[in-house]
Structure 1
Amino acid sequence: MPSNTNKPTHHNGSRLQRLAPDPSTARHVAWNFAQRLAGRSTAHIARRLDERSIPGPSGADPGRNPHRTHHGWSLRTVTEILRNPRYTGYQVWNRSSCDRADRSPTGRRPSTRNPRTEWAISTRIAHQPLASEQNFLAAQAIQAQKTK
């Protein structure tokens, strides 16, 4: 989902970003959640998307992903989509942090995932959801069961 416009600020001063679904990819995000809730593994989901020749995020928007060379679907890509609470329509801040002075050889800043307890989540929906909050939480529960 590319950002569309900047809107009001969050109570901590962060700007709310209104995101607009990409019409060509939004249905695939929703499909990822439906497949996961139907009991499909992330590997199965990635394989089916590749078999159907659905371009992954890198292939669908290479301008936003110039550092990625794989244009298909990987387990990590599917997992990250299913773990991203922004698809519920809520704005999320502080999911990761990075040292602005440190850069990798490719010029990217390495980031570290912050614990969920440190995330800031908007109290109201900020943009059109692609997955209901109930389906998002159910997908998280499925993943938690798999990692036990």
Structure 2
Amino acid sequence: MGSAGYTVVKQLDARGNPVRGDHESNEAEANVVRRIFREFASGIGPRTIARTLNEEGIPGPNGKQWGDTTIRGHVKRGTGLINNELYIGRRIWNRLRYIKDPSTGKRVSRLTPESE
């Protein structure tokens, strides 16, 4: 799954290479996304929204449980449902890049400069 409410469309171009970035709406997930935006706009906090969704057994992105950061994310990085510009119709490419931290061996994200 891509962003909640959207499913990645797997297609190949004429040469047989994957076409990247195509999404189609997933209505059941889209209803959950609309609900989250409505509740957030009415003043319900991300932690409460996440707890309620989990109590109702509604799966979060990638089948994981909802957390407050899943909903609010990070403003500058454009993560989380509320800060994801996809929901206002704007696609942002290459916002984050991932590198391996040599000291820990863990994958960490870095914000790509806007000029790139």
TM-score by structure 1 length?
0.53
Query: 2:26 matched to 1:28?
Result: no
The percent of aligned pairs where both chains have the same amino acid is 27
Structure with more contact order per residue of length (Cα contacts < 8 Å, sep ≥ 6): 1
**Alpha-carbon distance in 1 for matches of 2:35, 2:95:** 24
Alignment of 1:1-148 (within 5 A): 1-4=6-9, 17-59=21-63, 71-79=64-72, 80-99=80-99, 102=100, 105=105, 109-114=107-112, 118=114
Report the AA paired with residue 87 of structure 1: Y
- Show structure 2 runs of 5+ residues with no match: 1-5, 12-18, 73-79
Letter in 1 for 2:24: A
Runs of 4+ in 1 over 4 A off after TM superposition: 103-106
CA shift for structure 1 position 24? 2.6
Which amino acid is the alignment partner of residue 22 of structure 2? R
Q: How far apart are the structure 2 equivalents of 1:81 and 1:48?
A: 16
Return 5+ residue gaps in structure 1 as ranges.
7-14, 60-70, 121-148
Q: CA 1:93–1:51 in structure 2 vs 1: closer, same or farther (change >3 Å)?
A: same
Instruction: Provide the secondary structure at the position in 1 that maps to 2:90.
Output: coil
User: Given that residues 98 and 110 in structure 1 are in contact (C-alpha distance below 8 angstroms), is that contact kept between their aligned partners in structure 2?
Assistant: yes
Aligned-residue RMSD, C-alpha: 2.7
Q: Report the Cα distance in structure 2 between the residues aligned to 1:49 and 1:119, rounded to whole angstroms.
A: 38
Contact 1:35-1:45 within 8 A present in 2 as well:
yes
Q: How many residues align?
A: 95
